[in-house]
Amino acid sequence: MRTILRLGAALAFLTTPALAAEGGFLKEVDDLPLPAGFVELPGGTLFEAPQGRIVEATVQGNMLEVEARQFYDQTLPELGWSRTGPDEFQRDKEVLRFEISLNGMRINIHFSLAPFKASGADDKGAK
């Protein structure tokens, strides 16, 4: 019975979003938490411009897709991000999108961070 209780407590500890954030943070977005056990894959990019930064990065780990979505649905609003669509959040003047894909027994989460473009922003010079 004690073993079952300990196992249950350990699972609760690992699935708490705030504690799971101890998995680390994305290298180029230092306040974007990674679920415990996830690692950032090489090949990401960072571009900084006057309009804002553009970041592309992919992380990989063991987790069900639904658990990864729940992790970000819970943690991103705590960090000031507002949901603007499926797998899309906005904070200040930046938009964060993520895409989850299966990679064998693991999942990859691809993040894309870019400056927010207000509708009509590209039409300034058009007549």
pLDDT in tens, 21-48: 357 999 989 889 999 999 999 999 999 9
pLDDT at 87 over 90: yes
Q: What is the pTM of this model?
A: 0.74
Sign for the pseudo-dihedral over CA of 35, 36, 37, 42: positive
Percent of the chain exceeding pLDDT 70 equals 75
According to the CATH classification, is domain 20-117 in 2.130.10?
A: no
